[in-house]
C-alpha cells in the first residue's frame, strides 16, 4: 500500500505543478480598453473555444478535477 500511496503522491505533485503553470499561462479576464472599441468581436474573440486560450481553460478544468480526486484519494486512510 505504501508503494501505491507514494506513486499517487508523486502524481499529485506533478499535477499541482502543471496546474500552476497552466493557470499562470492564461490571460486575465479583464477586457481592458478592447471592450470599448469592440475588439472582443474579432475572429479570435468569437473562436476562443478553438484557440490556445480555450485549450488552456479546458486543461485547467481537467487538471483541477484530477487534483481534487487525487487529494481525496490520498486523504483516505486505507
pLDDT tens-digit readout, 4-32: 999 999 999 999 999 999 999 988 766 55
Q: Which pLDDT band holds residue 41 (cuts at 50, 70, 90)?
A: low
Would you say 62 and 22 are in contact if contact means Cβ atoms under 8 Å apart? no
> By CB neighbour count within 10 A (0-12 exposed, 13-18 middle, 19+ buried), where does 16 fall?
middle
Range(s) of the domain holding residue 3: 1-7+49-78
CA distance readout (Å), 11 to 3, 6, 34:
12, 9, 40
Would residue 42 count as lying in a domain?
A: no
Total structural domains in the chain? 1
Would residue 13 count as lying in a domain?
A: no
Which residues, other chains included, contact 42 with Cβ-Cβ below 8 Å and sequence gap of 6+? none
The answer on pLDDT for 75 being more than 80 is: yes
Amino acid at each position: 500500500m505504501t508503494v501505491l500511496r507514494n506513486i499517487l503522491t508523486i502524481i499529485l505533485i506533478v499535477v499541482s505543478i502543471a496546474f500552476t503553470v497552466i493557470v499562470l499561462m492564461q490571460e486575465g479576464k479583464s477586457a481592458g480598453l478592447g471592450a470599448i472599441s469592440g475588439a472582443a468581436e474579432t475572429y479570435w474573440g468569437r473562436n476562443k473555444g478553438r484557440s490556445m486560450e480555450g485549450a488552456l481553460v479546458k486543461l485547467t478544468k481537467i487538471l483541477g478535477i484530477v487534483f481534487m480526486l487525487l487529494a481525496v484519494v490520498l486523504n483516505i486512510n486505507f
